Structure 1
Amino acid sequence: MILLTLLWANPAAALTSSTSAETAQLFELHCAGCHLNGGNIVRRGKTLKQKALKRNGVDSEAAIATLITRGKGIMPAFADRLSEDEIAALSRYVLEQAAVDWQASP
């Protein structure tokens, strides 16, 4: 009922919220095992924090998407597990979360 109300009142906001929730779930399923809260339990310097993304040259959607798709080093490739749309959504999600230092939304 709430989603229907949101769709009627502001369809774009409702879809963005739903998409963000779905992307957060994708991140939890495929990424959080190593990158919980934007960190990195395997390699300390390879976090998803904004400073580390810039330092490692993966501070754009395209660069993050390439990394997710192809993998690098001990990070596996996800091209065979995720669709292009899912990879693009995860790339945006990582940049959005890095911009707010991976702080939880209220």
Structure 2
Amino acid sequence: MLCLFNFMKVIDLILFSAVKNNLDYLRRRIKANARKKRFLDKMTDEQKAIKRAKDREYYHKKKTENKPRKITEFTEREKLNIREKWREASRKYRKKCRFKKI
């Protein structure tokens, strides 16, 4: 737990310094992700197949409603904003990966 706390502290200082109570948020996210992973690991093969089918059905339903719109369906201004968000997310992800290696 001590190592995990130090890692979260480094992330807190570097990536999320502007967000208030972000250390608590990160702790909650790490716990939630661990809980979800344990739940998925405990599933039998039949349960996993049922979950995959449900997920597939959900995806196709959203796709028919055009929820995940393609980038070509946006205006030029929206495209610029979306791509800027993608770049920023990629930067954060790469930065986070660099700190995981340390």
TM-score (structure 1 length as normaliser): 0.27
Choose between structure 1 and 2: higher helix proportion.
2
Structure exhibiting the larger radius of gyration computed from Cα positions: 2
TM-score (structure 2 length as normaliser): 0.28
